[in-house]
Amino acid sequence: MTALLNRDTLRRALPAITLAVLLAAIFVKQPMAMTSFGLTLILQYAVPIALATLAQMFVIAVNDLDLSIGSFVGLTTCISALYLATDPLLGIVLLLLCIAGYVAMGALIHLRNLPSIVVTLGMSFVWLGFAVLLLPSPGGKAPAWLTGLMNFKVPPIPVHIPFTDINQLVIPFPIIAATVIAIVVQLGLMHSSYGVVLRGTGGNPKAVARAGWSLLKTKLAMYGLAGTFGVLAGLSLIGLTSAGDARIADRYTLYSIAGVILGGGEFIGGKVSPVGAVLGAITLALAASFLIFLKISPDWQIGAQGAILIIVLALRAVITRGAAR
């Protein structure tokens, strides 16, 4: 029993261990990354990737797969860049319509019993088409409040560490934001009664239906959450880039799927972990920085992130197989 618990604990801790190993490798290769400025620099895109990963997680939790989240995030950056600064009301209405479109996509998949991969793949071209029509080339401008938020400088915290000259601690904003996001989603999805119902839609839909819950409504709720977090990912991304681009988040679809799996999620059974998904997203963001420190071409980023995913999945399989014996 103790060995089984230890293996289960190790399996749950695998996302954090992977992140720690990668972070240690970065610190060894580039010690300046250990500073507050260095951490902020290498983690600056962790927040939008984490939000997109959580959006994917909501869809995977109901046994579906979303191949359109990257194009959707790109569309939200275009809408935000064009309208939020000049006509905020119109911009907000358009973003709400985007979320409604996600809900409608979930309804179509459920009511017609269509493969989510096919529907979301088709919708990826729809989102991209709208984005290109709105903004054929990168441009627009992010509202000042959004760029200010994403570049917020956290005030130093007075501390005293014995035997050192350190008398203050500065926590980078991306770390604080990612932590808050992970905790909020973890509490809402994993530790609330309605969260259990939502996850049950993917884990045991028959039991959820017998309990009197509408599978359609729970699935629409999850797609609505996915759309909401996709919009938040787009807003945070444009807050960093200051301009919209239809193709700026093309890789986010792969990042989001890999982040969920790295974080301990599975494609069936409604098994997901919000905290693990955020850790997986941060790991993928750090992998790109690690390659830069190694002076390797950015063209190898996807390959390196894929290698990390394969290694983690192999370790998870070894741990699970050992626990089953």
Per-residue pLDDT tens over the stretch 267-282: 887 889 999 999 999 9
Where does the chain show beta strands of DSSP type E? 157-158, 168-169
pLDDT of residue 4: 46
Nearest of 279, 277, 301 to residue 289 by alpha carbon: 301
N-term to C-term CA, the chain: 12
pLDDT at 324 over 60: no
Q: For residue 244, what pLDDT band results from cuts at 50, 70 and 90? A: very high
Average pLDDT (198-216) is 92
Question: Which tens digits make up the pLDDT trace of 118-138?
Answer: 999 999 999 999 999 999 999
Query: Hey, where are the domains in the chain?
Result: 29-154+169-324
Q: What is the percentage of the chain residues whose pLDDT exceeds 90?
A: 60
Give phi and psi for 244, each to the nearest 5: -90, 155
**Global pTM?**
0.92
Kindly state the tokens that stand for 118: 């096919």
Question: Which tens digits make up the pLDDT trace of 56-109?
Answer: 999 999 999 999 999 999 999 999 999 999 999 999 999 999 999 999 999 999
Distance, CA of 316 to CA of 233 (rounded, Å): 29
Distance, CA of 19 to CA of 282 (rounded, Å): 8
Kindly state the tokens that stand for 261: 């799996």
Q: What rounded mean pLDDT belongs to the chain? A: 88
pLDDT of residue 166: 60
